[in-house]
Chains A and B, each alone.
Chain A
């Protein structure tokens, strides 16, 4: 029996209305789209710090630099809606710890990955129970990490890796119609961030690894020129999906620089049309993978610094000081 005495709100969430009067003109909408201010091969700055959660055996916090448009919107807000978002996530590692008595024997460490969006992380509210995309991210992360951890040094033990995403990347610019490109491109940036942070947290928990694995994203995007004409597709590293009209295909890798190996590769999208008109070798899937690897190399430098800081803290040295 439906409730007829009250006027109830909608059962699911709604998004804030955009009043036509608040939009100055139609052209202001198209210029309101955040633009990429970085070079195609320039990455966003990464903030990565280990050991922030004392109760965990290892932890890391990762944050991407907000895009220029977001920083501008924060200093002088034009609208209630932020133009884009920047990734923020926390990763905790619990273990190695003994498996429960009921578990069967395992000669290797049993890795459990758990990726959860905070309900407020994305524009669309996420529920408290993990949905398919979060489980999918967990499997991707597990694949990326299992190749790195030297698993046979901890038989009969378990390792729990939990990632909480506090702010997620957008899948598209909020002003675009939902059907303009609905593939979850933001998920790929989130995965790259998860890999880098988890790698730092595992190193912080002093678990033996082959190398520090870092995540990187590259995408082939076709942007609009300011005149509204679609430009030729380009390969860009570390794309923010809000800044691009259409992303043709994207690739995320988990990469170990010292061994030059990839433990996780996830490429999706259809870029055949991009390479059709041109003879540009720069738009093949190989160059896309190479681009993602280059982005991962960039993230690796930050990762190495963060792990060094963690090691100095462990050894009781003052962090950042060059005391020899």
Chain B
């Protein structure tokens, strides 16, 4: 029951002893760079295998597996659906259009191309969790948010992606695509599954194809039945060679960043996240109209280090003091002070300084930073 209750924090309460936690924390917070248990550098990701288009029944799919055996599959399905416009909204927008027919025509157009966030549905299944548990709900909200939030300007000549993913789903005023993104974690969640699920979703969306539209304008939609003619949901611009690959609209990717002491560590595994001071989930994407990366959302995740058991320093430990009554009494008195003793694990308390947040974000967003590196790496996966 306790495990269920606390499942919303970054992962299950880690079963690591206070001595181990203290050892991990000290080695990760060393002033000249962290020493990680698996020997990675601070910004290095775990090795992974990825493939796309594995499920023939979907519009796009991907599978990603980490070396520790955790695997995730994502399938993306698209459906055509009739757009429901609330009567009052229709009335009002018609009024506005009549009134400002000349100078507000651009706005009228905008309202027809803007999509709705609820057209993207995401469901996450994690073994051992009910689908209304806090962790799957939190994860799916965390990953859906940047997906529907991203609004591309389309100034880079890539007119198709105006309005971001929401805009892309609009067929015409009366019809739209509805996107179902189903995320399946195949293994037990050994570490916090966010990076794995986010990378898999990114690849699945990259490989998603929608049938080519044959009808024009406000007609009922009619599609080309040749699957080879289908178009990518996130268009490729091989033909437009003036656009380098760094200027295409890409699905967002959510990175998990932790801070330990003064150090910032990316893609933490289970042991590392257990001692983190702060856990941030940062969503970034690339866009046509800006040079660097765009920040779409930040969320703090409850670090599991707050739930750990404290260590007992030798000065308070009855076993090392010898169990004389006086020593016992002294230990009882001292326990209430709860001072920090170096080398003895205390559960983390308090929050994060703004300085640390800024440092973490800079590492993600800067030119040549981790965010760009990840997106470039994902670009290298053969799609289609």
A interface residues with partner B (beta carbon < 8 Å):
15, 17-18, 20, 23, 25-27, 29-30, 99-100, 102-108, 110, 112, 132-133, 135-136, 138-140, 142-143, 146-148, 150-152, 175-180, 182-183, 210, 228, 254-256, 259-270, 272-273, 276, 285-286, 289-290, 293
Contacts and interface: CB of A to CB of B under 8 A. Distances in A.
B91 to A, nearest CB: 6
Nearest to B148: A183
Interface string B68-89: 0000000000000000011111
Nearest to B137: A135
B358 interface: yes
Contacts of A133: 141
**Range of interface residues on chain B?**
35 or more
A150 B338 CA distance: 11
A151 B289 CA distance: 47
B125 to A, nearest CB: 15
Contacts of B5: 110, 112
A268 B111 contact: no
A293 B90 CA distance: 39
Contact of B297 (A152, A268, A276): A268
A140 B348 CA distance: 18
15 contacts: A103-B1, A107-B308, A108-B307, A135-B137, A136-B138, A136-B141, A138-B8, A152-B338, A177-B89, A177-B93, A263-B300, A267-B298, A269-B296, A273-B151, A293-B354
Given A177-B92, A273-B289, A265 B99 contact: no
B114 A180 contact: yes
A142 B149 contact: no
Contacts of A270: 149-151, 164, 294, 296
A210 B134 contact: no
Nearest to A16: B88
A132 B118 CA distance: 13
Looking at B141, B280, B290, B338, the one whose CB has the most chain A CB atoms below 10 A away is: B141
Chain A, interface SS category: mixed
A263 B351 contact: yes
A175 B348 CA distance: 47
Contact of A26 (B89, B98, B280): B98
B88 A18 contact: yes
Nearest to B301: A143
B102 to A, nearest CB: 12
B302 interface: yes
A152 B299 contact: no
B349 interface: yes
Given A146-B306, A270-B149, A228 B104 contact: yes
Contacts of A176: 89
B141 A132 contact: yes
Given A176-B89, A228-B103, A268 B350 contact: no
A272 B287 contact: yes
Nearest to A130: B132
A138 B306 contact: no
A105 B13 CA distance: 12
B295 interface: yes
Given A139-B8, A177-B111, A268-B297, A103 B88 contact: no
Contact of B350 (A103, A106, A256): A256
A265 B294 contact: no
A194 to B, nearest CB: 15
B349 A104 contact: no
A101 to B, nearest CB: 10
A103 to B, nearest CB: 5
3 residue pairs, one from A and one from B, having the closest CB atoms? A261-B351, A263-B351, A26-B99
A108 B347 contact: yes
Contacts of B251: none
Interface string B154-167: 00000000001000
B145 interface: yes
B6 interface: yes
